Amino acid sequence: MILGPGDAAPDFSLSDQFGRDLHLAEAARRGPVILAFLPYAFSPVCGDEIRALQEIQDDADAWGVPLTVIAVTADAKYTLAAWGAERGVSLPIGSDFWPHGEVARAYGVFDEEHGVAERGVFVITADGTIVSGRQVARTETRDFAIEARTAAANA
pLDDT of residue 107: 99
Question: How does DSSP classify residue 8?
Answer: B
Residue 49 included in any domain: yes
Residue 27 included in any domain: yes
> What value does the mean pLDDT of the chain take?
97
pTM: 0.97
> Domain holding 98: CATH number?
3.40.30.10
Burial class for 74, CB neighbours closer than 10 Å (0-12, 13-18, 19+): buried
Residue 13 included in any domain: no
pLDDT of residue 125: 98
- Domain of 105 in residue numbering reads as 23-126+134-153
Residue 5 included in any domain: no
Residue 93 included in any domain: yes
Structural domains of the chain, count? 1
Q: Which residues are catalytic?
A: 46
Contact 137, 119 (CB under 8 A): yes
pLDDT tens per residue, range 39-62 = 999 999 999 999 999 999 999 999
pLDDT tens per residue, range 93-144 = 999 999 999 999 999 999 999 999 999 999 999 999 999 999 999 999 999 9
pLDDT of residue 52: 98
Contact 92, 17 (CB under 8 A): yes
